[in-house]
Structure 1
């Protein structure tokens, strides 16, 4: 018995040892496999990063600053450089031509087919879109402001027939689409008709334009001052951040059109120096931005000061529920609504968008490298956007230390300094400007060849408006954007904007995911019910007090 047991033990012991050795070998194999997989992943990641860097280089090479606006500033040196590039240059040219073709196709879709008109009695032949300025049958002095344009822009051609007929109007169109003259020319005609009927001397304005920012208010005033001069129309612009004295004097000397920001205008009304009782033509420009900035109480208060019988005009890049609610309260039950392009968020298709995922510490060096490319002549206009006022001052100082001639516009600067900086940027004296989002909306700065987003904005809407500072009036532009880990919550919306515009979506951006976060109410967070466009108006409920005790 003992002998058999010993034999059994002798047999089983090697088996046990071989099992243990096998287990160790299996573990070693698993470790080796894991190590190989990690090495493979790191190699793939490196290849992706290299591919991403190569993609960005190709995009940059395809878009020389002189080619953005189609200007011929090339020299013999640049020609030799292009010849040396050989096949690489050909591939980048092919990339650029594909991008241009895509943009041209999209542009044709917008101008030819993507205009939606809705509202009561909009199919009448008298409301047909205008194909030329002559079809509007307006006096020459009114059309003097349009002499530099060959034909009306899409928003102008669709808006003028309705606005000249006195209809309440909602216009949804991208930045740089000619919105100011879309409401400016009908405003001049409105004033002309009123003055012909009433020959007595008038001191109060007939037209009001509300704007969310001082810079946009000044820009609208510049356009309407030039347009109204041949017609004898007097325009006054009022905004905060500067002395009230000159603005009060201008109002007292007589005015036809008042353009202003809600806060300053409300102050002047309460002081009794601005009376809006005769205003019968009201424009809310960038209405969505105005409400986003918290001006809704001031806007409501101001609108109540105007004539009860008035023509209301709203222009907005998007159509959120808050703007829809305001339109319901102060407009006709079913106003004319013209959407050029898309009611949803969409970027200008004439802008090449390059998005680069970076770490915070590498942004300064990358910004300088891009400026050396896009701003090497230091003559072409380049606009750099940052997020915060202190960041604007820091980046400005950093670039000045490195020898760049630069100005800045942000909230910590006095209005006089902001106006001066914008003026230097516009006239080309200092064609490099750092700005916060005060310069993102509505500003029409000619020939901005490149926009660089040093910091990504808080919303993708602001991103769309930022890059809209270039590629205006049919010209081409480039927007180069730095995207960081902390911005990952906006990656999904940004991907959608890039795809809609036919732009290349970098792999590094896709790694953050394509989920689009639900919009939140500023008051109630995510726990609120959105108002749909066809929602009925709220009902006032009255309670019978017959059961109350005396």
Structure 2
């Protein structure tokens, strides 16, 4: 039965293939000739922010206009073109006082259960699961915090039998901590800020309330836009979120549409005209579709901001703000992220109404479901030697993601690892110079197990929902601790079988040039209570930012870890120290 499921076409793959096939048969001549001068005039000021990566093939197939290439720096964080940064592609402001919005239902939890108070049982559960709740609004509202949900069947009447059955059919036995606390609050109609480590189940924590919210409104009429808009910073994350939304919403007869780069605007417009309760997309493409009148935001009553800190980091604040200002002020807004910086907190106060903030674990901390190992090596060649020697061992444990700092680096690593007999034909890579079709193909092969290792830049570090990843290797150090947290979190994701976590391993390879990052890593490990190896401390001491943090030198690794890490010469003279940092 399992083999049969693997042979079935993935719903996301089928959707993407369908759109691509339609795009091939639809020529640009079908578009109104009068629109071509308008397209040409927008060169340099278009804000297809989901296409910021340097992807010439995608641009050529999507539009007859010759778009300028985006910044081709050796990093894969999607960048805003310089012209667009100066003249962002925004929506015309809406005077909501002149619009008569119809009332909409939003409280599906408290109307079915007595208004709760903070109970001792709920407090005990939060303490046991390291969950904290913060509110900033009026006391009457802010103290009205439902107890966490410990069983899906307890709210079967709210989720509906169909959705509950779909949840169980997908193998989810009980809610994760972020889901347990978020579901009652979101279903109560509250604005929520959810902060939890990568792989903690944040996506479904907002997808399930979205399904209930959308299916509880009146049906869409011709010409009406979506009821829910989910914004994601990258196309890969949007694709993953769309797959969940489409599946869960489909259980109740609803429809979801994905809007992101790599798919023709003509086909997206046709999909939007047919109508859908939920639209998942990147900020730039969402604005593009609204401005072209392919859809509108008059029926939107629920907004989800996924990986909000990443959207701000990538410069999307003006676009997200423009979209929110075009949606009715009394909407419900949910914001999720793995980290929560001061800037994110500031915009959250402006964009959300009396939100409840849920923190699971330590904010900005790497996943508890990942054992971290740091290898301080002599050179770049030594890092490749480490990978060459360890790849057969890693491959025997399960899927692997290897992070590199540049596009050229991913190609070089992929080529070297392809020479290893045991894994040579099971290596793939993704980065900004790959077309969307190539990325989809590589990710699909990785998810289906046809590829055992994926070499990637940070474009793959956010939100990719690939289960059962056992090993993450930071071949190149991350740019900062937030990126590091998202990288290593890949190995601590929920398993595909029972919705439980499986312990993973993350290996970070450092050389002398990484002394500043080593210093930051020592600080993070200390805050998280992780032991720190001698060689990592010695490297951190070379940084001009190093301060005596009174770290406790890590204990020797467990025997199985020592066996994995043995046989490599480190830059540190202390060869008797532990094999890494854990």
Report the TM-score when normalising by structure 2: 0.66
Structure 1 position 380, deviation (Å):
2.6
Matches of 1:384 and 1:109, distance apart in 2: 36
> Deviations for 1:183-218, whole angstroms, at most 9, x for unmatched residues?
1111111112212xx675564100000001111110
Structure 1 position 501, deviation (Å):
4.5
**8 Å Cα contact 1:127/1:162 also seen in 2:** yes
2:532 maps to which residue?
505
Distance 1:168 1:245, change over 3 A: same
**8 Å Cα contact 2:235/2:261 also seen in 1:** yes
Q: 2:382 matched to 1:362? A: yes
Q: Which moved more, 1:147-156 or 1:236-245?
A: 236-245
1:156 maps to which residue?
179
Matches of 1:263 and 1:186, distance apart in 2: 25
**8 Å Cα contact 2:469/2:490 also seen in 1:** yes
1:184 maps to which residue?
207
SS of 2:286 mapped into structure 1: helix
Structure 1 position 425, deviation (Å):
0.4
Matches of 1:517 and 1:230, distance apart in 2: 54
Structure 1 position 122, deviation (Å):
6.3
Structure 1 position 497, deviation (Å):
2.9
- Structure 1's unaligned 5+ residue stretches are 1-107, 519-550
> Deviations for 1:146-197, whole angstroms, at most 9, x for unmatched residues?
21222111111111111111111111111111111111111111112212xx
Matches of 1:204 and 1:280, distance apart in 2: 11
Distance 1:122 1:349, change over 3 A: farther
Structure 1 position 307, deviation (Å):
1.9
- Structure 2's unaligned 5+ residue stretches are 1-123, 495-500, 547-582
**8 Å Cα contact 2:229/2:303 also seen in 1:** yes
Structure 1 position 254, deviation (Å):
1.0
Structure 1 position 471, deviation (Å):
2.3
Counterpart among 173, 183, 189 of residue 166 in structure 1: 189
Alignment length (residue pairs): 405
> Deviations for 1:409-463, whole angstroms, at most 9, x for unmatched residues?
1111001110110000000011111011111111121111111111111111111
Counterpart among 510, 531, 536 of residue 483 in structure 1: 510
Map 1:529-544 onto structure 2 (within 5 A).
none
1:130 maps to which residue?
149
Matches of 1:481 and 1:110, distance apart in 2: 32
Matches of 2:406 and 2:243, distance apart in 1: 28
SS of 1:411 mapped into structure 2: coil
**8 Å Cα contact 1:291/1:323 also seen in 2:** yes
1:411 maps to which residue?
432
Distance 1:347 1:109, change over 3 A: farther
Map 1:492-531 onto structure 2 (within 5 A).
492-513=519-540
Distance 1:128 1:370, change over 3 A: same
> Deviations for 1:231-272, whole angstroms, at most 9, x for unmatched residues?
111101111234223222211111110101112222222222
Q: RMSD in angstroms over aligned alpha carbons?
A: 2.2
2:347 maps to which residue?
326
> Deviations for 1:349-403, whole angstroms, at most 9, x for unmatched residues?
221111001222212111111102212x4x8311111111111111112222444
SS of 1:383 mapped into structure 2: strand
Greater per-residue helix proportion? 1
Matches of 1:113 and 1:433, distance apart in 2: 32
Q: Which moved more, 1:305-314 or 1:427-436?
A: 305-314
Map 1:248-287 onto structure 2 (within 5 A).
248-287=269-308
SS of 2:229 mapped into structure 1: strand
Q: Highest Rg: 1 or 2? A: 1
Structure 1 position 123, deviation (Å):
7.0
**8 Å Cα contact 1:349/1:501 also seen in 2:** no
2:335 maps to which residue?
314
Matches of 2:355 and 2:545, distance apart in 1: 32
Distance 1:439 1:168, change over 3 A: same
**8 Å Cα contact 1:116/1:340 also seen in 2:** yes
**8 Å Cα contact 2:223/2:273 also seen in 1:** no
